[in-house]
Amino acid sequence: MDVMEEASRREALGQEIIHMEIGQPGARAPAAVINAAQEALANGYFGYTEARGIKALRDRVSRHYRETYGVDVPESRIIVTTGSSAGFNLAFLGAFDPGDRIALTSPGYPAYRNILKALGLEPVEISVGPETRWALTPDLLERSHAEKPLAGVLIASPGNPTGTMMRPDALKALCESAQELGIRFISDEIYHGLVYEGETATALRYCDDAIVINSFSKYYCMTGWRVGWMIVPEALVRPIERIAQSLYICAPDISQRAGIAAFDATEELEIVKAGYARNRALLLDRLPKVGFQELLPVDGAFYVYAGVRSFTNDSSDFTRRMLAEAGVATTPGADFDHDRGNGYLRFSFAGSHKDMIAAMDRLTAWLK
């Protein structure tokens, strides 16, 4: 956010900035979504919905899991949320007690630990690296649990900032390990749909009592609509429903109605995804030529997490200089990994292909 603020300040002064710091699609919401919203607006009335979301949307999410993953999820276990952010708050409040310890991977999305701390829970960051393909393993989980018991574990696949995805067998092994240890499993699946290599699997295939969180923000290009969903065990439905009623009543009515249409916009969304794939190929080709020799596996999402040790030991300063001198905005790794983040930065390739080419040209000139 600091990088984006500085980039905006520079743009206001006339500098042309290429944005690769923001983790959101550059494309607008699909036409079907906009049409559904316009139709709803024409009817002229929006109100509170059930805290769990309108049944038509819950039914459509249930159908999505059946068609996409071959998993039967009753609509009664689906809760529509105000984006995935609300899903994390609800999951943490509904599944844990103050002081509980929740395992996270490092590098990882910083909001996880921030939300946990704000709610009186203890984030336990477990470092992962190339030896485990940047994924949490049963051994690492068991070792941490043995040191001091864990109440939960949260994984993201594909992940932010890396874009790296757990293979189905690795996800299965981790789910089974968590179940054996009595650790609640939470799976962040908001980048599902944006996978370029490998097979996508939902944690629900291996752990029926997992909490799964997803969103319309990434694949469906609906960040500003603030609507997502979570799937929870039956025992948590009522507690989470009551918490949701107290915290925000319901997700936006218009966004829920539009969200139903998003599932039928696959053709348009796959065109957007093809654009990401083209950008991904460009960055994976050109970044090493510029000098970024360490690139983590980019299986999905729209990020490249790149090592900068050949240039600097301070990625935050490197990011500031890149912005000021090359006009390219990226995110320093310190946000995602307190211990090793100074050696990395994150490029988002969710923008236009023209911008990605221009960014690589600028970096080439800047790093000569």
Per DSSP, 216 falls in state S
Q: Which residues share a beta bridge with 123?
A: 102
Residue whose token pair is 């348009």: 268
Q: Which fold has domain 31-264?
A: Aspartate Aminotransferase; domain 2 (3.40.640)
Residue 1 has pLDDT above 80, yes or no: no
Instruction: State pLDDT tens for residues 348-360.
Output: 999 999 999 999 9
**Above pLDDT 70, what percent of the chain?**
100
Superfamily of domain 2-29+267-366: Aspartate Aminotransferase, domain 1 (3.90.1150.10)
The DSSP annotation for 277-314 comes to HHHHHHHHHHHHHHT---B----BTTEEEEE-TTT-S-
Q: Could you tell me the end-to-end alpha-carbon distance of the chain, in angstroms, rounded to an integer?
A: 28
Instruction: State pLDDT tens for residues 175-203.
Output: 999 999 999 999 999 999 999 988 999 99
Domain ranges of the chain: 2-29+267-366, 31-264
Please state the rounded mean pLDDT for residues 160-183. Answer: 96
Assessment of whether the complete model's pTM goes beyond 0.85 = yes
Instruction: State pLDDT tens for residues 262-320.
Output: 999 999 999 999 999 999 999 999 999 999 989 989 999 999 999 999 999 999 999 99
Instruction: State pLDDT tens for residues 109-155.
Output: 999 999 999 999 999 999 999 999 999 999 999 999 999 999 999 99
